[in-house]
Amino acid sequence: MKRMLAVGFGGMAGSLLRAWIYAAVPGTVSLWVINIIGSFLIGFAVMKLSGKSAELRLFISTGLLGSFTTFSAFSNDWFRALESSAAAGIVYGLAMTVAAVAAAAAGLWLGRKGVKE
């Protein structure tokens, strides 16, 4: 039950944070900001939280950052881009995916610094 509550409360906080960024950052830039920052933080959290409690890891990674980042909004934007132009849709989808994976890799790399192996 503690783990479910950790995910739930983290999810509430993450979705509220995402809504705040949508309100503060105009247009589709907000989705890029959210997904790139969120991907970076997920990578970072994987390294920094490895020895912590399952509840804390679930609160931050699955709850907070999982609800902060948004694959559904990305998919919606991607399909709209595909409808206007197949090339634009492909470029958009690849660019967002590469940027998010690169951000997660950077988070992992930075998170590894100072972690004793």
CB 44, CB 108: distance < 8 Å = yes
Residue-wise pLDDT tens digits, 37-79: 999 999 999 999 988 999 999 999 999 999 999 888 899 989 9
Residue 117 covered by a domain = no
Residue 99, classified by CB atoms within 10 Å of its CB into exposed (0-12), middle (13-18) or buried (19+), is: middle
Residue 101 covered by a domain = yes
Q: Is 97 annotated as a binding residue?
A: no
H helices of 49-112, in order, are: 54-57, 66-68, 71-84, 86-112
Residue 116: band (very low, low, confident or very high) from pLDDT cuts 50, 70, 90: low
Q: Round to whole Å and give the CA distance between 111 and 84.
A: 39
Total number of domains constituting the chain? 1
**Residue 26 pLDDT > 90, yes or no?**
no
Q: Is the pTM of this model over 0.85?
A: yes
Q: Round to whole Å and give the CA distance between 113 and 88.
A: 38
Residue 84 covered by a domain = yes
pLDDT of the residue at 114 = 63
Residue 40 covered by a domain = yes
Residue 16 covered by a domain = yes
Residue 103 covered by a domain = yes
Q: What are the angstrom distances between the C-alpha of 24 and each of 35, 77, 80, 99?
A: 15, 19, 23, 21
Q: Burial code of 8-41, b = ≥16 C-beta within 10 A, e = fewer?
A: eebbebbbebbeebbeeeeeeebbbebbbbbbbb
Residue 104 covered by a domain = yes
Look up the domain containing 60 and give its range.
2-112
pLDDT of the residue at 6 = 96
